[in-house]
Amino acid sequence: ASWVPPNHPRRESLLIRERLVDGFKEGYVATQGLIAHGRGECFDYLIGESSIPPALTAERVAVAALLIAKHPVISVNGNTAALVPRQVIELAKLVNAKLEVNLFYRTREREELIARVLRENGAEEVLGVGDDASCTIPELFSERRRVSCRGIYIADVVLVPLEDGDRTEALRRMGKIVIAIDLNPLSRTSRAASITIVDNVVRAIPNMIKFAEEMRGMPRDELIRIVRNFNNEENLRSVIMFIRDRLSELVSKGITLEFSKS
Ligand code: ATP
Ligand code: MG
């Protein structure tokens, strides 16, 4: 990452890309993961690369859902391991969730590499590796349906940062509360999840850590109320209206950058 100029206007974004490229070179980020990140970046531009109000709302509700869950699980894929390894572990500890490796492009090698990254970052237990992934999600085919019998299979609440639409739908059909983090408010995942967080995973997880610290001491009734009062359809509408209003504002203010001779 040393080539990234310190004053580059998009330095942060370039450094995030570097982390994915490093993960790719180490063999645990899938090639398709790099493409998926680019799609995410596009939507991040549209929301202004910040945690917009409906995202913060969903993040808070998601933390409440994780805190009241009996068997909360955080699903980790290659991109998540590359971008927020320490943070997912910290969040898991705060809400008492299990960590499970769950890959769209599953290979034994990537699975084990991701588990190793998590352990190096302080995770004690990592589910879903090798023979541990011996339960199956109904209606999904091939390797994608294998999950841990102690993890996602029995989970009541699953946090899936960067999930695929198909799998989100299958988890919903199993009756689970699915929390998705996805920058695209129009993806199948976003539309199928119970709680959709339209935010970059690099902002969403740290925000959720803060909320978890604040909300851990809240009475259970209060947490249940927070989850009950949430309406995902309404929240996704707010996201889309936010983008619409932001684009309208940009149009009225002017798009082009001005240069004066110095
Ligand atoms: P779906 O299967 O849900 O319909 P898709 O097929 O359009 O979605 P996938 O390639 O399956 O897209 O998943 C990639 C998703 O992950 C994209 O919607 C993208 O917006 C999102 N994404 C990528 N990087 C990030 C990130 N850093 N933070 C949040 N979301 C991200
Ligand atoms: Mg998909």
Q: Identify any residues that bridge with 75 across adjacent strands, giving them in sequence order.
A: 100
Which of the residue ranges 1-15, 59-73, 154-168, 241-255 would you say has the lowest mean pLDDT?
A: 1-15
Give a yes or no: residue 247 inside a domain. no
Atom of ligand 1 nearest to the CA of 191: 3
| Mean model confidence pLDDT for the chain | 95
Residue nearest to atom 19 of ligand 1 (CA): 40
CA–centroid distance, residue 230 to ligand 1 (Å): 23
Please give the distance of CA 139 from its chain centroid, rounded to a whole number: 23
Angstrom distance (rounded) from CA 245 to CA 239: 10
Amino acid 145: pLDDT:
87
* In the predicted structure, residue 1 carries a pLDDT above the cut 70: no
Amino acid 90: pLDDT:
98
Give a yes or no: residue 26 inside a domain. no
Q: What is this structure's pTM?
A: 0.96
Give a yes or no: residue 173 inside a domain. yes
Instruction: Report the CATH number that the domain containing residue 62 is assigned in CATH.
Output: 3.40.50.12640
Question: What average pLDDT score do residues 137-158 get?
Answer: 89
Amino acid 195: pLDDT:
98
Into how many domains does the chain fold? 1
Give a yes or no: residue 17 inside a domain. no
Instruction: Indicate whether this complex's ipTM tops 0.90.
Output: yes
| Structure tokens, 55 | 């995202």
Domain that holds residue 190: 53-242
Give a yes or no: residue 1 inside a domain. no
Give a yes or no: residue 42 inside a domain. no
Residue nearest to atom 22 of ligand 1 (CA): 40
Which of the residue ranges 20-34, 131-145, 184-198 would you say has the lowest mean pLDDT?
A: 131-145
Give a yes or no: residue 93 inside a domain. yes
Give a yes or no: residue 134 inside a domain. yes
| Structure tokens, 172 | 């919903």
Atom of ligand 1 nearest to the CA of 200: 28
- Give the number of whichever ligand sits closest to the CA of residue 32: 1
